[in-house]
Amino acid sequence: MAITVAALAEWLDGQVLGNETLLIDRAQSLSKAGSGSIAFFAGTKVAGLKPVEGAAILIAQELSGLAAPLANERCAFIVVKHPKEALIRVAGRFTPRRARPEIGISCHAYVSATARVGKETNIHPGAQVGAGVIVGDRCDIHPGAVIGRNCRLGDDVVVYPNVVLYDDMIVGNRVILHAGAVIGADGFGYRTVGGRHEHIPHFGTVRIEDDVEVGANTTIDRAMVDETVIGQGTKLDNQVMIGHNCEIGRHNLFASQVGFAGSVTTGDYVVCAGQVGIADHAHLGSRSVLGPKAGVHGDIPEGQRYVGVPAVPEVECYRSVLALQKLPEMRQQFRKLERQVAELAVLADQLRKQIGEAEVAESRLSVKEAVSRPLRDAA
């Protein structure tokens, strides 16, 4: 249902600049905003901010004075404290989440007679729940999901289609496992015996703590012994790989295609951008940040920002990048210096020859003087 800009502003505790009577019925990105839509401006400077006819744009309070001259009867700005958060609220109003279905345990699902399922939990058709499994209250086990034997799931867990939990996995409360995630496969461990690679058995488990979100097709390997741990509140993007015996701290953020080798540990609030790779047994200190494609071969100090391959402190890497950008100019300067050195070498040779000839002439005069002096004295 469409709503006026004035009503939206009141709901968001904002201030309107421009036409308060415009009707808004959807949220869009600023690049695609059109008549009837609302978007937000992410910048902190008025440069780049343009009114959109028939649309409302959420802006930060510090831009209100600069945006006022741009407002007119064909558009509107809504001044709020946090434009992005305001847009999320508005988007939720126009596109509310679907109500959670109440299907209970489908007759087309397989649930072991020894499994215990909490109240208000949905197990969709095609899901499998193994022997000895404990599933908490208000969980959703979607089609194709496989919960191995003796797994334990807390309350309000969502297991999306085709997720696989191997035997003996431990999952906390309010955990989300997106489609295709695999929890508890054996780690990549082999030993060479008689020229053959023999698999090392893995006897441990995986423990996922409360409020963790695991992205689609992400894999978390079971420990060889003890536990692979994903700490409370940590969020893993799609296609992340966590090796055996890793212990990930609380509230970490790992973007897509991050890969951790075995026995890596992290502190809290660690951030890894896309395609970061961590060698085995490394430790990432709390609040450290690793830039895209960083290759880490050792420990990262607490609170530090590292980038590059191999990963180095951010400032050091940027200095190297700036130096590389100057290489063409430095190459020209080097060639110029080579030419100058060659010219100086030629001049030096000429000077040496001149000095040598002068010394020979002087020595001849000295000999002549030595011979002629006794003759003069005798005369």
Report the DSSP pairing between strands 271-272 and 289-290. Answer: parallel
Higher local confidence (pLDDT), 46 or 152: 152
> If you average pLDDT over residues 303-319, what whole number do you get?
88
For the chain, the three-class secondary structure string (H helix, E strand, C coil) is CCEEHHHHHHHCCCEEEECCCCEECEECCHHHCCCCEEEECCCCCCCCCCCCCCCEEEEEHHHHHHHHHHCCCCCEEEEECCHHHHHHHHHHHHCCCCCCCCCCECCCCEECCCCEECCCCEECCCCEECCCCEECCCCEECCCCEECCCCEECCCCEECCCCEECCCCEECCCCEECCCCEECCCCCCEEEECCEEEECCCCCEEEECCCCEECCCCEECCCCCCEEEECCCCEECCCCEECCCCEECCCCEECCCCEECCCCEECCCCEECCCCEECCCCEECCCCEECCCCEECCCECCCCEEECCCCEEHHHHHHHHHHHHCHHHHHHHHHHHHHHHHHHHHHHHHHHHHHHHHHHHHHHHHHHHHHHHHHHHHC
- pLDDT given for residue 377 in this prediction: 64
- pLDDT given for residue 338 in this prediction: 87
Q: Which residues pair with 37 in a beta bridge?
A: 26
Q: Which residues contact residue 377 at a Cβ distance below 8 angstroms, ignoring those fewer than 6 apart?
A: none
Q: How confident is the prediction for the chain on average, in pLDDT? A: 92
Going by pLDDT thresholds of 50, 70 and 90, the confidence category of residue 350 is confident
Q: Is 237 left (phi over 0), alpha (psi -120 to 50) or beta?
A: beta
> If you average pLDDT over residues 79-100, what whole number do you get?
91
Q: Note the residue count of the chain.
A: 379
The whole-angstrom separation of Cα 255 and Cα 241 is 11
How many other C-beta atoms can be found within 10 angstroms of the C-beta atom of residue 204?
19
Instruction: State the chain's maximal CA–CA distance in angstroms.
Output: 143
- pLDDT given for residue 371 in this prediction: 56
- pLDDT given for residue 316 in this prediction: 84
Burial class (CB in 10 A: 0-12, 13-18, 19+), 150: middle
Burial class (CB in 10 A: 0-12, 13-18, 19+), 362: exposed
Q: Please tell me the least confidently modeled range out of 63-72, 206-215, 245-254.
A: 63-72
Tell me the whole-structure pTM to 2 decimals: 0.81
Question: pLDDT tens digits, residue range 120-178?
Answer: 999 999 999 999 999 999 999 999 999 999 999 999 999 999 999 999 999 999 999 99
> If you average pLDDT over residues 51-78, what whole number do you get?
90
- pLDDT given for residue 364 in this prediction: 66
Q: Please tell me the least confidently modeled range out of 56-60, 212-216, 278-282, 331-335.
A: 331-335
- pLDDT given for residue 279 in this prediction: 96
Catalytic amino acids? 244
